[in-house]
Amino acid sequence: MTGRVGIYPGTFDPITLGHADIIRRGSKLVDRLIIGVTTNPSKNPMFETEERFAMVEREVKAMGLSNVDVVGFNALLVKFAQKQGASVIIRGLRAVADFEYEYQMAGMNQQLDSEIETVFLMADVSLQPIASKLVKEIALYGGDISRFVSADVEGEVLERVKAIGLKGDY
């Protein structure tokens, strides 16, 4: 495939409306956008990699974006981007704290391959507070997550919480 290829990497545990916003907007910037679903054990995932991959695929399909593919990976991001023929890494930003970390990562990635550019997209203002970690925490303590994820993802998270068990006092 010719044209500009971009990578939007993440754990997507679970995929949120904020992620969906970045996917929609990022897909307009490149000819082909690859959503790279990766592993990150330090994030204490609620869902296995295969479950997250299927969740992201379903959500992307529901968006109707013909130039977006979902690919799983467990490698250095720059190596994955090179293998996919990507020249752009797309990263979403919610707050200044995100920027500090992402700025450092972009600098390291540039050192590894100066031909791959990192593009930062600010999350929509209404979606800026949403973080997968917080969605999981809210759900585990019996809170309403319907404003942060699609109905399908909400169902999956609530099923997982039911299997794990709610936390806290009621």
Active site members: 19, 43, 94, 132
DSSP state of 13: T
Radius of gyration of the chain (CA): 16
Is 119 in contact with 88 (CB distance < 8 Å)? yes
Q: From CA 33, how far away is CA 7, in angstroms rounded?
A: 6
Q: From CA 103, how far away is CA 97, in angstroms rounded?
A: 10
Six token digits for residue 62: 């529901």
Q: From CA 18, how far away is CA 131, in angstroms rounded?
A: 8
Cis check for the bond before 14: say yes or no (omega within 30 of 0): yes
State whether the Cα torsion 9-75-88-93 is positive or negative. positive
Is 119 in contact with 27 (CB distance < 8 Å)? no
